[in-house]
Structure 1
Amino acid sequence: MMTSKEVRIADYLQQDCILCHVDAESRDKAIDLLVETLCSKIDGVDRGAAVQAVVERERQAPTVLAEGLALPHARLDGLVKPMLALATSHEGIDFEAVGEEPVHVVVLILTPKDDPGAYLRLMASLSKMLAAPHMITRLAAAGTAREVFGILTEGAEEVVVLLNASSVMNCNPITLDEGDTLASAIHAFCANRVLDIPIVDSDGDLRGVIAIEDLLDQSLPRHLLWMEDLSPIENFEPFSELLRKDSETKVADFMHDKFVAIGPSVPAIQLAKMFLMQHIRQIQVVEGRRFLGVVNLDSFSSQIFWA
């Protein structure tokens, strides 16, 4: 298992697993090429099953993490240790991520199914390394696998990775402002299928949180909650009044300031305990009052159990 806090990319990426300027316009073609490259070096891993696992994961949640970069991944039975393969493209590869430009650098991550820490450490390490200024541009312009490998391993090869809240948080979640309207909140909840939305002010400070239950709470008068039979209310009349004022009512009227917030350095495993003990589904990550991101129970569980 990958237990060290130091990650050396060269330990998991071989030079002959780097494909420069691939002829692959689609996400699935690029994934197939990279999986084929890795499977030629792995015994006991079914290529078709591996491709299917990676593609299915991408369809559920595209891994375009930065402009021009995608990190598709899957956890598989039969792997002894994590393995990486990298492809670059001049023209760009359509990764079918809404609102994202074509991808020019793709890093495939395959890790053992029973080692979630390996996946999380590699993702954190690669995200940190590839976020360096002009890194994607340099990799995409490189003409040979040797040149790409040199760029990735130049300088200090060991990257210290601490699996903490910042490693597993969503740093770009849906947020609202106190001055936004109820209509905006309803659209955000429904269009993005989220249950909790942080309220962040213009300075980037966390002001509160609004949950979908807050809308229900404002809609139903207290006396109705004591009634056992609500069948006479056939047309959701209590909600009509709220909706008639949805463009006038502000989010500030609904948000609450009782939420769970932690710093970015809190160990990731501590979050699992918090989810269980406090029966919550979202944790806010802050530095002081400055909002950094969120960790949602569903995505956190996905990273541990499915990746």
Structure 2
Amino acid sequence: MSENSTVENELPLTNIITPSRVVVGLQAGSKKRLLEELAELLANAGRVIDKATVFRGLLDRERLGSTVLGQGVALPHTRISDLEQPIGALIILDTPIYFEETEEVQIACALLVPAESSDDYLKLVAKLAELFSESSFREALLAAPDSLHAHTLLNLPVDDTPRDPVDGP
């Protein structure tokens, strides 16, 4: 057994959010349009998921309470029946939109999780919230020239996310 067995048992973010489900520079004029784009990416994930079902699930979850994390990031998520493992999508908008009346969003990471999962679901949301709380990670995503570069950033552990240089003594 390796010393990283716990980490090895977790599904890497790059498996949950594949390059085909990352979009950089999208122009979405509204929260509804952004959720529709996320639903389309998630519905095209190669599994039998209806776009309308995904959109409805994301919208219903938003009605329960906003999924805005702050700092320009939203994490819309919902549970889906007959889903075997979590899937996600990442959209980096060209310009921020108002997701809520006073909350602008430029980065949206959507998650679909199996309806039966609970602990894994909460751990995944917490992991993403931690990742997006890092200003250097958000800045790197916003500076990503394309989807592939943005996807590559998901591979980096939080501690390895590109940071501003620090002057030494």
User: What letter corresponds to residue 17 of structure 1 in structure 2?
Assistant: R
Matches within 5 A, 1:262-301: none
Identify which of 15, 21, 24 aligns with 2:19. Answer: 15
**How far 1:5 sits from its partner (Å)?**
5.0
More helix by share: 2
Partner of residue 71, structure 1: 75
Whole-Å separation in 1 of the counterparts to 2:109 and 2:48: 22
Aligned to 1:279: none
Report the Cα distance in structure 2 between the residues aligned to 1:110 and 1:149, rounded to whole angstroms.
18
How many equivalent pairs are there? 152
Structure 2 counterpart of 1:29 = 33
Is the contact between residue 42 and residue 54 of structure 2 (CA under 8 Å) also seen in structure 1? Answer: no
Secondary structure at the residue paired with 1:115?
A: coil
User: Aligned equivalents of 2:96 and 2:113: distance in 1?
Assistant: 26
The residue number in structure 2 matching 1:92 is 96
For structure 1, list consecutive stretches of 5 or more residues without a partner in the other structure. Answer: 158-307
Structure 1 residue 118: Cα displacement = 2.6
Give the SS at the match of 1:33: helix
- The aligned residue for residue 45 of structure 1 is 49
For residue 154 of structure 1, what is the aligned residue in structure 2? 156
**Would the alpha carbon gap of residues 43 and 149 (structure 1) be closer, same or farther in structure 2, given more than 3 Å must change?**
closer
2:163 corresponds in structure 1 to: none
SS of equivalent to 1:106: strand
Note closer, same or farther for the CA distance 1:156–1:58 as it changes in structure 2 (3 Å cut): closer
Letter in 2 for 1:139: L
Superimposed CA distance per residue, residues 235-293 of structure 1 (whole angstroms, 9 cap, x where no aligned partner): xxxxxxxxxxxxxxxxxxxxxxxxxxxxxxxxxxxxxxxxxxxxxxxxxxxxxxxxxxx
Which position in structure 2 is the counterpart of 1:113? 115
Largest Rg, 1 or 2? 1
Question: SS of 2:154's equivalent?
Answer: helix
Counterpart of 2:165 in structure 1 is: none
Which amino acid counterpart does residue 114 of structure 2 have in structure 1? P
Percentage of pairs with the same residue: 26
- Residues 128 and 156 of structure 1: is their aligned pair in 2 closer, same or farther, counting only changes over 3 Å? closer
* Offset at residue 156 of structure 1 (A): 7.4
CA contact (8 A) 1:104 1:136 kept: no
Q: Does 1:81 align with 2:67?
A: no
CA RMSD of aligned residues (A): 1.9
The structure whose RCO (Cα within 8 Å, separation 6+) is larger is 2
Residues 188-227 of structure 1 aligned to structure 2 (within 5 Å): none
TM-score between the two structures when normalised by the length of structure 1: 0.47
Q: 1:85 deviation in Å?
A: 0.3
Taking the aligned partners of 1:72 and 1:156, their CA distance within structure 2 comes to 21
What is the CA–CA distance in structure 2 between the aligned matches of 1:72 and 1:44, rounded to whole Å?
20
1:37-66 per-position Cα deviation (integer Å, ceiling 9, x unaligned):
121124332210210110121122111112
Does the residue aligned with 1:134 lie in a helix, a strand or coil? helix
The one-letter code of the counterpart of 1:73 is H
Find the counterpart in structure 2 of residue 54 from structure 1.
58
TM-score (normalizing by structure 2): 0.82
